[in-house]
Structures are given as structure tokens and as C-alpha cells.
């Protein structure tokens, strides 16, 4: 984990799915490097840019006014070739040739798997910053982009609720999250949804239907059912179809929120988290740390080895799931 050489030129890249707040993290990395008399280099399109030597010098003004912007000014990519050792070797030799002696990777657990290999195979110093809307990374209470994503989803679902109420409809709304139900659970609690289906808990469709019917008899005329991507009964469309087979007189609609959850101006919470973690990542590299992700646990900075951050998962709290059910009665 310890490196002895003093970092002189640090590179930063964004990898995997973009998330709101990545720009704020890039800004923090660049400005912290400059503050420490370390040169900053931006890598365009994540690992793909390392392979293709897409490096750009970054000055303080290069990151002016990006704190409020969604997406990532460095662009991102999925780069399957990076799973090959020879490709990673090329990436490291490109960085060394360009005088880069430290790397900050802003991304999700897939990106950290690649980063871990750069450290272990080639002894290249890398520190990670968790940037994904999914909130599924072990070693941080929240990932950069999650807060913005849930606020975007909540504001969209509030609007859908108006139509559901006006027309006595039951809406099945699909939210993102890959294999993790954080976006589903938080948006369900935040919108007062009637039911939540997330990958971490099995939902029996017959039980869901009896519950919906019971609610209807209590004079609930409309409903919002949140279906998280990765939920075991299938997509929101498939869940709606299964419900309709049991309750044919229900007037149902399906909305998939999709990529609107990944875009937009980051919330203040995401900007602050990204700024703090980006700053600490560069300071960690300068202190000689490597092979770790910097996160925030109980409001304290926490460093977690990449291997642990990738192999473990943030757990959904049983209590929070129970609360979402109790409050929807």
C-alpha cells in the first residue's frame, strides 16, 4: 500500500456509468494537485483513453464552472479490453512515458477492479473515488451521484402520482440500480410508494396482488409501485403483466425512468461529497497511499482496499425496508 516516490504528475479519469458530481470530483483532484505543486493530467474516456494516450494537461481554469454540471467533462466509457493484462500493461507504459506517476480513478466497482490490477500487477499508484448512482460500493455510506439520482427520480414520480390520482391508475415505475435496491428503497420511502420491489428481497406477486386489492377496498384508488432494475420478477413491464393476469380490472401503466436518473446538475450534497473525496484522493497519493478507495463512513474519511470495496457490498437495512412497508399501509 505504501509508495516511496514523490508524486509529480497525477492523472484523473472517469470510468463506467457517468454520475452527477463526477465533474466536481475532477475539479477537486485538479485543484488539490495544483495546490500541492503536482501537475494534473485529464484522461479522456476512462481506461480507453489510457490505452490511446488521450491525455490533456489540466490547469486551474480548465475546471472552472464545472461544479454545477452533470455528466463528466473527461467523458467516460466501458472498456472491456481492459480485462486483458497486455492492455493494462500498455496503459501503464503510456502513463509512465507521459511522466504520470499517480492516478485517480473515479468510477464504480468495475472500475476499481481494473484499478486494483494496475496496482498489483505493475506497482502503479492508484486511488479510487466512488462515482456511481447505484450506491452499491462497500467502504462509503454514499457514492457520488446517488443523492442527485434519487432526487431526480422522486421529482419524476411525484409528477406521475398526479396522473395516477387523477385517473385511478396503478403505475409500475422502474428505477435504476444495477444489482442494488438503494435507489428503489429511497425513492419508495421518499414518494410514499404503495409497494417496493428490490433485488435484495423476494416479492411474491400473489401477495402483492392481495395487498393491492386490500388497499383498494380501503378506498385507495391509485397506486405507485417501485420496481428496481434487477428485481427477481423481471422488469416493471413484466411485473405489471403478472399483476394484470391476477387483477384484470386494474388500470395499469408502466414508466421506466431510465437515464434521466444519471444526468442533471448535482445536488449540493453530491458536490460536497465529490469535492471532499477528490481532495482526499490526491492527498492520499501524495502521502504514498495506493490500492485504496477513499469514501465517507459516518462522516469520517475512510480508506478501503480496492479488493474489499469490490468484493463486499453495501447492505440494505432490513429496518428501512420494513419502514417503507409500514408507512405505505
CB closer to ligand ADP, 6 vs 83: 83
The reply on whether position 47 binds ligand ADP by CB under 6 A is yes
The stretch among 1-9, 111-119, 139-147, 219-227 that binds ligand ADP (CB under 6 A) is 111-119
Q: Which is nearer to ligand ADP, 82 or 303 (CB)?
A: 82
Residue 78 as a binder of ligand ADP (CB under 6 A): the answer is: yes
Largest Cα–Cα separation, the chain: 71
Among 18, 109, 134, 270, the active-site one is 134
262 binds, among ligand F6P, ligand ADP, none (CB under 5 to 8 A by kind): ligand F6P
Stretch that binds ligand F6P, among 39-47, 111-119, 131-139, 287-295 (CB under 6 A): 131-139
CB pairs under 8 A, 24+ apart, for 319-322?
Answer: 320/185, 320/189, 321/185, 321/196, 321/198, 321/200, 321/201
119 binds ligand ADP (CB under 6 A): no
Residues 70-99, buried b or exposed e (16+ Cβ, 10 A)? bbbbbbbbebeebeeeebbebbbebbeeee
The x, y and z cell numbers of residue 242, run together, are 403478472
136 in catalytic set: no
Determine, following the binding rule CB under 6 A, whether residue 178 of this chain makes contact with ligand F6P: yes
The C-alpha cell that represents 142 in the structure block: 454514499
Residue with the CB atom nearest ligand F6P in the bound state: 17
Nearer to ligand F6P, 32 or 267 (CB): 267
| Calpha distance 180→229 (Å, rounded) | 8
Report, in Å, the least distance between residue 81 CB and ligand ADP: 7
**Which residues neighbour 270 within 8 Å (Cβ) at sequence distance 6 or greater?**
20, 21, 24, 144, 145, 146, 147, 148
Q: Contact positions toward ligand F6P, by CB under 6 A? A: 17, 108, 132-134, 176-178, 229, 262
Amino acid at each position: 500500500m505504501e509508495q516511496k516516490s514523490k508524486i509529480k504528475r497525477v492523472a484523473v479519469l472517469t470510468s463506467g456509468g457517468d454520475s452527477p458530481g463526477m465533474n466536481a470530483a475532477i475539479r477537486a483532484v485538479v485543484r488539490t494537485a495544483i495546490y500541492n505543486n503536482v501537475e494534473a493530467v485529464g484522461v479522456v474516456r476512462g481506461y480507453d483513453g489510457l490505452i490511446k494516450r488521450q491525455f490533456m494537461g489540466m490547469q486551474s481554469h480548465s475546471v472552472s464552472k464545472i461544479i454545477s454540471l452533470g455528466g463528466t467533462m473527461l467523458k467516460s466509457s466501458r472498456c472491456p479490453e481492459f480485462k486483458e493484462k497486455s492492455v493494462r500493461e500498455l496503459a501503464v507504459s503510456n502513463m509512465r512515458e507521459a511522466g504520470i506517476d499517480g492516478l485517480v480513478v473515479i468510477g464504480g466497482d468495475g472500475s476499481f477492479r481494473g484499478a486494483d490490477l494496475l496496482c498489483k500487477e505493475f506497482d502503479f499508484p492508484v486511488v479510487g473515488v466512488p462515482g456511481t448512482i447505484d450506491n452499491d460500493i462497500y467502504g462509503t455510506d454514499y457514492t457520488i451521484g446517488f443523492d442527485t439520482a434519487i432526487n431526480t427520480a422522486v421529482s419524476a414520480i411525484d409528477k406521475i402520482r398526479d396522473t395516477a390520482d387523477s385517473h385511478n391508475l396503478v403505475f409500475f415505475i422502474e428505477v435504476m440500480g444495477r444489482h442494488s435496491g438503494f435507489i428503489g428503497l429511497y425513492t419508495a420511502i421518499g414518494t410514499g410508494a404503495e409497494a417496493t420491489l428490490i433485488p435484495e428481497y423476494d416479492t411474491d406477486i400473489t401477495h402483492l396482488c392481495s395487498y393491492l386489492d386490500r388497499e383498494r377496498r380501503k378506498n385507495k384508488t391509485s397506486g405507485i409501485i417501485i420496481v428496481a432494475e434487477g428485481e427477481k420478477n423481471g422488469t416493471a413491464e413484466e411485473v405489471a403483466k403478472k399483476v394484470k393476469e391476477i387483477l384484470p380490472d386494474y388500470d395499469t401503466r408502466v414508466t421506466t425512468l431510465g437515464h434521466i436518473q444519471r444526468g442533471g446538475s448535482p445536488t449540493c450534497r453530491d458536490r460536497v461529497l465529490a469535492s471532499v473525496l477528490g481532495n482526499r484522493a490526491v492527498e492520499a497519493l501524495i502521502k504514498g497511499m495506493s490500492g485504496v478507495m477513499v469514501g465517507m463512513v459516518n462522516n469520517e474519511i475512510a480508506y478501503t482496499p480496492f479488493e474489499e470495496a469490490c468484493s463486499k457490498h453495501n447492505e440494505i437495512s432490513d429496518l428501512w425496508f420494513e419502514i417503507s412497508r409500514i408507512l405505505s399501509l
